[in-house]
Amino acid sequence: MKRYSVFAVAREGARHHTGWERAWRSPEPKKSYDVIIVGAGGHGLATAYYLGKNFGITNVAVIEKGWLGGGNTGRNTTIIRSNYLQDSSAAIYEKARDLYETLSQDLNYNVMFSPRGLIMLAQTHHEVRGYQRTAHANALQGVKTEFISREKVKELVPIINIDGPRYPVLGGLWQRRGGTARHDAVAWGYARACSDMGMDIIQKCEVTGVRRIAGRVVGVETTKGSIDCNKLGIVVAGHSGVLAEQAGFRLPIESAALQALVSEPIKPCMDVVVMANTVHGYMSQSDKGEMVIGGGTDSFNNYTQRGSFHHIEETVRALVETFPMVSRLKMLRQWGGIVDMTGDRSPIISKTPLENCFINCGWGTGGFKAIPGSGWAMAELMAKGYSPLAAEFSVDRFKEGRFIDESVAAGVAH
Amino acid sequence: MLTLQCPYCGVMAEETELSAGGEAHLKRFGPGSTDADFETYMFMRENPKGVHFERWRHANGCGKWFHAARCTVTLEVFGTYPAQTSVPPADLLDKIRAARPGFKWREFE
């Protein structure tokens, strides 16, 4: 693999950009691999990457039904933060945020990590107390956040209406090193690095069955034929239930469409990420100038990748209250992704009833921010059978009542 | 927008008039049950990519709970029926089998 650098740009500029090579290979599947990862989204590719980088396991295939990063990795609102209440969540999300800091250098691929700062608005007295508590918890967890005054919020976000018709802004939970990254680049960067280590990324190849013998996985059936493996990792977000059914076990997961939308591009007006959980809307401005807006989740199970229209109305209504200038914006695009929701709204990184099959799912509405940490933990779990970061996220917690209750801690915009 | 007919008042209700109540026909397990049974009742879900049976409430209407059979991929609604039953009606199952060969939901196929 030729490294990307300022010299490469200069060299290619001088020869009319004829020397760039493909970022990753598109091979046909081999007969067998040490590890098969199902799902070439951020989490699947990160798992493969850290299997290779941290554990030297490179005889790996990443199998993808559609195209690389075409699921939720390409559909989220690109927000990165780690201001969670519970210790186990803060640990894995902070690990991910920390890895994002140097991810571009690690991958030799610009993921455009932009730690521009992130505010979660406190708009009720309950939220003020909740976020003050989170700030104290974060201090103990080594996550740098602080509770800021409403005047400071106004200073950071001049376009905000802190007096609000329904919910005045009373303060905010501020994470200075939270921010955004280029979501596609994260998938592409990991894919390029995996391909460079000799891993096969096989796109347009749907897994149609999981072959099992005596409680072990021996391989998968795909639309490109049968492939053997020693270990299987299922990292397919919204379709986890479908894969689990093929593998013969059940999951505490329900899938629904979560929406997002972007406005027309405008001049820079907001250089931080703002989440308003009481009125339920969150917004950041992309480098192109579009306002990137996160919407609501459908209340019923579905796989439509579209979402119900009335959620857009509710989201935009909330944002117009908080940011009056939004009322003058045209919205350009709207889309949906299928999120996999668990009972406690925390993810599952776990062993399964099958001895050599592992699953990473349940990231629900907030998986993008966790990609590097999730891949790190999943790789460790698959290579060594135990990962301290993943331990609390095992699927047994539902039977044992050890919930990681972030649905209360994080409000709706998770 | 998803539209369901309330089997009690007959109104074709839009999604905003209804509230979703999750998977239908769950068998409840409470105190004294095994951990596995309680976990299954409380957390494990069918989550099918295809026809699903659900509970809905006509919240901004007659206020009553009912059941619906709906496809989670196309949002096609196969029918709604009253809440006072522990299994889907036979005629509805026949209709789904005819429309969706290979249909499977729990013990029904």
List the CATH code of the domain at B3-99. Answer: 3.30.2270.10
Q: Averaged over A89-103, what is the pLDDT?
A: 97
Residues listed for chain A? 414
State yes or no: pLDDT of A295 exceeds 90: no
What confidence tens digit (pLDDT) does each residue in A317-346 have? 989 999 999 999 999 999 999 999 998 889
Q: Are strands A357-361 and A225-234 parallel, antiparallel or unpaired?
A: parallel
Contact by Cβ (8 Å): A375, A95: no
Structural domain spans, chain B: 3-99
Greater confidence, B90 or A405?
Answer: B90
Cα(A29)–Cα(A222) distance, integer angstroms: 10
Listing DSSP states for A91-129 in one string gives HHHHHHHHHHHTHHHHHTS----B---EEEEE-SHHHHH
Cα(A208)–Cα(A220) distance, integer angstroms: 8
Of the partner residues A252, A300, A308, the one whose CB lies closest to the CB of residue B45: A252
CA-closest candidate to residue B55, choices B47, B64, B65: B65
Of the partner residues B19, B42, B73, the one whose CB lies closest to the CB of residue A303: B73
B45 chain-A contacts, CB cut-off 8 A: 241, 250-254
Instruction: Show Cβ contacts of residue A147 under 8 Å, excluding neighbours closer than 6 positions.
Output: A122, A128, A131, A132, A135, A171, A172, A173, A174
List the CATH code of the domain at A118-179+255-341. Answer: 3.30.9.10
**Of A180-184, A399-403, B27-31, highest mean pLDDT:** A180-184
State the residue for tokens 């072959």. Answer: A211
Q: CA-CA distances (angstroms) from residue B81 to A113, A199, A277, A306, B11?
A: 51, 52, 36, 27, 13
Domain A31-82+84-109+183-252+344-409 adopts which CATH fold?
FAD/NAD(P)-binding domain (3.50.50)
Q: pLDDT category, A411, cuts 50, 70, 90?
A: very low
Q: Do B49 and A242 touch (CB under 8 A)?
A: yes
B49 chain-A contacts, CB cut-off 8 A: 239, 241-242, 255, 303
Amino acid, res. A253? I
Reading the block at residue B14, the tokens are 């839009």
Of A63-67, A209-213, A297-301, B3-7, give the lowest mean pLDDT range. A297-301
Q: pLDDT category, A59, cuts 50, 70, 90?
A: very high
Cα(A309)–Cα(B76) distance, integer angstroms: 17
| Numbered ranges of CATH 3.30.9.10 in chain A | 118-179+255-341
A219 beta partners: A211, A228
Q: Averaged over A10-38, what is the pLDDT?
A: 96
Interface test with A, best of B16, B43, B52, B54 (most A CBs within 10 A): B43
Q: What is the mean pLDDT of chain A?
A: 94
Instruction: Show Cβ contacts of residue B14 under 8 Å, excluding neighbours closer than 6 positions.
Output: B1, B2, B3
Q: Give me the pLDDT at residue B109, please.
A: 87
Residue A94 dihedral angles phi and psi, to the nearest 5°: -70, -35
| Numbered ranges of CATH 3.50.50.60 in chain A | 31-82+84-109+183-252+344-409
State the CB neighbour count (10 A cutoff) for residue B72.
24
Interface test with B, best of A206, A249, A300, A308 (most B CBs within 10 A): A300
State the residue for tokens 């309330």. Answer: B6
Q: pLDDT category, A414, cuts 50, 70, 90?
A: very low
CA-CA-CA-CA torsion sign (A258, B23, A250, A94): positive
Q: Averaged over A114-137, what is the pLDDT?
A: 95
